[in-house]
Amino acid sequence: MDATEISPLTEEAIAKLLDDRNVRTPSKPYDNGRRQTPRWPFPGTVELWVPGEDGVEEHQLATCLNLSLGGVGMLADIELPVGLELALAIHQPEMSFHGRGAIRHCTAVEPSFYIGLEFLFDEE
């Protein structure tokens, strides 16, 4: 894939990225508390478009720390409320993805925030 392309964020696209990096997803159900899929270190950039109360989106950059089939863990300079749905783009050397996600947790780690975001895949 041409790294200049931006592809829709799908489970299949994330699975291909993991497979291309020889990360093996478990063949049996994964159960680690609330998380349904394991996460792997994937440094990179995450773009966030945070909706404002006035309807205008604010563009923010975050640092991707880990990635799974179902979400991303990242560091950001801003606190985001749990449950917030937003647009995002994830940039990795092999490919970039655009899609939507929901904030599942946000923890202060001075001077930043560690944020867990669950991917929201469009229904077919």
Query: What residue ranges define each of the domains in the chain, with the CATH number in brackets?
Result: 6-27+37-120 (2.40.10.220)
Residue-wise pLDDT for 35-73, tens only, equals 456 666 788 999 999 999 898 999 999 999 999 889 999
Least confident range of 38-47, 65-74, 77-86, 93-102? 38-47
**Which among 33, 30, 2, 5 has a CA at the least distance from the CA of 89?**
5
CA dihedral 60→64→67→72, nearest 10 degrees, is: -30
In this predicted structure, what is the pLDDT of residue 1?
42
Task: Give 18's pLDDT tier (boundaries 50, 70, 90).
Answer: confident
User: What is the average per-residue pLDDT within 104-108?
Assistant: 97
